[in-house]
């Protein structure tokens, strides 16, 4: 074969023969192939050697992959900011026979007179708040389409106090600098984690009424979370305690593989 890259060729350049062109192309494409596979192999090794996530619903996934997922989630959150309001309906459209779903942590009798909501500040300080204390705050109503991940939805009517009003009234504003709110039932059997922007969303409330009557035990008496920007699973019934943290609080359905964010 002629020396393709020889400098000895003096004089005017002769056009390459077909054979020479093919040789050169092969050289370039094989070269590209080797470089590309090197990058791919390196990338795969990097991912393979990356630490696994130890805890949470994505446990076992490589950290860089989780980071990518978190980035996407963040973009969605920024996009669906607090200015986005969930659609509301006239009172007449609210269901009279409201569907009732699962009761983990909200089964059995509850002594409403003895019930107190525990608010655990990050400093360790704990507030004990009665239902009357909460009912004394400005009341708000919402009629919206409640959606369960199991595939049903229903327009329902809730009354209570805005979570953001509750925060201000009990001087918890400094706690909202943290990333998450954790909520649990009094027996700690059911629990949810809520990102702070969704908790502070203007339609999120602590509800003690349904259809303008005291909340029934099966719907979460004496107090439940109503968070219209999220699926039913996050709307914890029979609230017992609230806490604040920068780490994701444990979440009952996320532990079963459902999306932690569960936004609509
Ligand atoms: N304590 C508690 N809260 C809960 C649940 C539960 O099992 N226990 N289920 C959730 C689910 S999956 C849904 S769809 C709604 C149902 O609320 P409802 O029974 O008032 O319709 O409550 C949510 N809150
Ligand atoms: Mo649900």
Q: How far, in Å, CA of 183 to CA of 239, rounded? A: 7
Q: For 40, which DSSP code?
A: H
Q: For 5, which DSSP code?
A: T
User: Which pLDDT score is estimated for 7?
Assistant: 47
CATH assignment of 63-256, given 3.90.420.10, 1.20.140.10, 2.40.420.20, 3.40.50.300? 3.90.420.10
> pLDDT per residue over 102-117, tens digit each?
999 999 999 999 999 9
> pLDDT per residue over 196-245, tens digit each?
999 999 999 999 999 999 999 999 999 999 999 999 999 999 999 999 99
Average pLDDT over residues 152-181: 98
Strand partners, 182: 193, 243
Token look-up 């009732």 returns: 100
Nearest residue CA, atom 1 of ligand 1? 237
Higher pLDDT, 186 or 38: 186
User: Which pLDDT score is estimated for 2?
Assistant: 46
Domain ranges of the chain: 15-49, 63-256
Is the model's pLDDT at 42 over the cut of 90? Answer: no
Average pLDDT over residues 70-95: 75
Average pLDDT over residues 130-149: 98
Average pLDDT over residues 74-97: 80
Global pTM? 0.75
Query: Which residues have their alpha-adjacent CB atom under 5 A from ion ligand 2?
Result: 148, 232-233
Q: What is the CA(263)–ligand 1 centre distance, in A?
A: 16
Q: What is the CA(3)–ligand 1 centre distance, in A?
A: 78
- Whether 230 lines ligand 1, by a CB cut-off of 6 Å, is no
User: Which pLDDT score is estimated for 41?
Assistant: 56
- Whether 147 lines ligand 1, by a CB cut-off of 6 Å, is no
Nearest residue CA, atom 15 of ligand 1? 232
Ligand 1 probe mutation, 224, 233, 238, most atoms within 8 A of CB? 233
Average pLDDT over residues 63-81: 57
Q: What is the CA(219)–ligand 1 centre distance, in A?
A: 8
């Amino acid at each position: 074969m002629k020396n393709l890259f020889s400098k000895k060729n003096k004089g005017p350049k002769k056009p390459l023969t077909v054979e020479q062109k093919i040789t050169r192309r092969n050289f370039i494409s094989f070269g590209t192939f080797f470089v590309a596979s090197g990058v791919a192999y390196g990338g795969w090794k990097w991912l393979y050697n990356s630490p696994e996530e130890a805890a949470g619903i994505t446990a076992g996934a490589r950290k860089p992959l989780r980071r990518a997922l978190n980035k996407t989630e963040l973009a969605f959150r920024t996009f669906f900011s607090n200015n986005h309001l969930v659609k509301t309906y006239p009172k007449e459209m609210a269901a009279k026979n409201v569907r009732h779903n699962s009761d983990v942590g909200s089964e059995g009798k509850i002594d409403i007179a003895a019930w107190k909501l525990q608010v655990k500040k990050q400093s360790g300080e704990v507030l004990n708040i009665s239902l009357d204390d909460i009912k004394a705050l400005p009341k708000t109503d919402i009629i919206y389409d409640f959606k369960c991940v199991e595939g049903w939805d229903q327009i329902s009517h809730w009354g209570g106090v805005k979570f953001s009003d509750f925060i201000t009234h009990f001087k918890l504003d400094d706690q909202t600098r943290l990333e998450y709110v954790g909520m649990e039932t009094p027996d700690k059997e059911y629990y949810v984690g809520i990102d702070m922007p969704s908790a502070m969303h203007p339609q999120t409330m602590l509800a003690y009424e349904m259809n303008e009557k005291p909340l029934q035990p099966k719907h979460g008496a004496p107090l439940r979370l109503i968070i219209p920007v999220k699926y039913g699973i996050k709307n914890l019934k029979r609230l017992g305690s609230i806490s604040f943290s920068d780490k994701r609080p444990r979440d009952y359905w996320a532990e079963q593989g459902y999306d932690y964010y569960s936004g609509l």
